[in-house]
Structure 1
Amino acid sequence: MTGPAASDGPVPADVADAPFWRRKTLAQMSAAEWESLCDGCGKCCLHKIEWADTREIEYTNVACRLFDSGSCRCTDYPNRKAKVPDCVVLTPAVIDSLHWMPSTCAYRLVSEGQDLPAWHHLVCGDREAVHRAGIGVRGLTLSEDEAGDLEDHIVDWIE
């Protein structure tokens, strides 16, 4: 079963017992449900290169200066936008416009009406599964403060 698309109406009674990500749109989720969707992969905190002529996205292993590579979390999540003005704050209103979000991202998957993968902690109950599946970037990043040219740090992550 897949989740509701962002424009879908009420959820049928036969899915009332389904997990929240299958029966709610992103906009219908509580703040706690929204935050719990994050799988902790860390890819949204990495710098990307978008080529102007092709709009192609290249991923890098260069992380925001607030990113903790060991935990794959922001070190100052509540104040991230104030400290990093170009930080993109994920909301239901912007998720569909972020074409650079990884195909494995739970926010993207739910927005597209897809289900969460088996390694997602809400499915399997294990927050480490994302890293064992090779999706997370724990220990694989470099801080933007020490990186130099982004073009020297292009990588191919599992998508």
Structure 2
Amino acid sequence: MAEQVFWQRKRLHEMSRAEWESLCDGCGKCCLHKLEDEDTGEVYYTNVACKLLDTATCRCTDYSHRQQKVPDCLVLTPADVAEFHWLPNTCAYRLLAEGRPLPGWHPLLTGDPESVHHVDISVAHKVYREDDVDPDDLQEHIIYWMDE
């Protein structure tokens, strides 16, 4: 019988840092600015990306220093699992926290870090950099294609 891969045999809080980091599919969706409805708590994504996101590759241009440069950058940790409801439906962290499998296109399954782009799940070439958008206009940039 084949041995289960780490994400099938370990809970999120049992993963090493390298395992945890490898769950990220590189879609860039968590780097988009979000707006929360104060009345309902519903989170709306915009097509405006953090200034550190490379909008072509969907990688942070300064990942190790991102919190110093963007103080409100969210860092996902196993301790935050209960809060993962705001993550996109395609996100591995959310899927595993909810007991669901990784999608077939996930780089851990395909072995190809570009697979998230090949299936058009990423935000590559679909978003604006925050420096190019007036912060007062964020509501005009709400998107509805996040989980298509």
TM-score, length of structure 1 as denominator length: 0.86
List per-residue Cα deviations over 1:108-144 (Å, max 9, x = no partner). 1111111100000111112222122221001111111
The corresponding residue for 1:26 is 12
Establish whether residue 84 from structure 1 lines up as the match of residue 70 from structure 2. yes
List per-residue Cα deviations over 1:1-54 (Å, max 9, x = no partner). xxxxxxxxxxxxx8x811100000111111111111100000000001111012
4+ residue runs over 3 A deviation: none
The corresponding residue for 1:40 is 26
Question: Contact 1:46/1:60 (CA < 8 Å) preserved in 2?
Answer: yes
What count of residue pairs does the alignment treat as equivalent?
Answer: 145
Supply the RMSD in Å over aligned alpha carbons. Answer: 1.4
Unmatched 5+ residue regions in structure 2? Answer: none
Give matches, 1:130-141, under 5 Å. 130-141=116-127
Return the alpha-carbon distance in structure 1 between the equivalents of residues 120 and 82 of structure 2.
Answer: 25
The corresponding residue for 2:95 is 109
Establish whether residue 155 from structure 1 lines up as the match of residue 140 from structure 2. no
Question: Contact 1:39/1:130 (CA < 8 Å) preserved in 2?
Answer: yes
> Which residue identity does 1:50 align to in structure 2?
E
Unmatched 5+ residue regions in structure 1? Answer: 1-13
